[in-house]
Structure 1
């Protein structure tokens, strides 16, 4: 039998933004560990490794890179891994070491210039 977490997840109660699960615009997931503590079956375990090795990458279609003021991706990034030069003076850039690969930035980009790639590809 499954135990339900009472109320919202511990991360939500702490006011942490919920990153979007990769490949989904509807579900949200916190990486706070409350689900591990609530799971009575042992099916979930804590790990120090990130849950996936995806990182955000910015393509040439970035509006800020074309001189259009846009910072939608930066505003939703829970890890604050995205930098956008002020005044549309250059494309957004992602700090791959800070990026968690949550995908929150992908769906909000009006130019569809952000995608998720494996860590090796994103850092290349």
Structure 2
């Protein structure tokens, strides 16, 4: 799936073969904001219009527009992995949050292939 970007927002770019249109929705907010166009080039324009309209509508309603993602989420892991991560934070004299951040960055941005098979 392709991702459109504008201001602080991302949105989907899909083709609806049944209706013969390009369509999408703004990602990472609870409000449902959709857009569609007849061509991919026009879809980017409609996405930008949808973001601008969303921001303007929120202003008109006197409420704050939702920001895409807060940088906070819950992860469920085994108690043993939790323990090992906590011990790592103690050994490194850092926070558990920092250990998890570094682990996630390593997973996402490492140029080396990571073997994800667990025994």
The TM tier, using the shorter chain, reads: under 0.3
Q: Which has the higher contact order (CA 8 A, sep 6+)?
A: 1
Of Structure 1 and Structure 2, the greater strand share is in 2
Rg comparison, structure with higher value: 2
Relative to the length of structure 1, the TM-score reads 0.20
TM value normalised by structure 2: 0.20
Greater helix proportion: 2
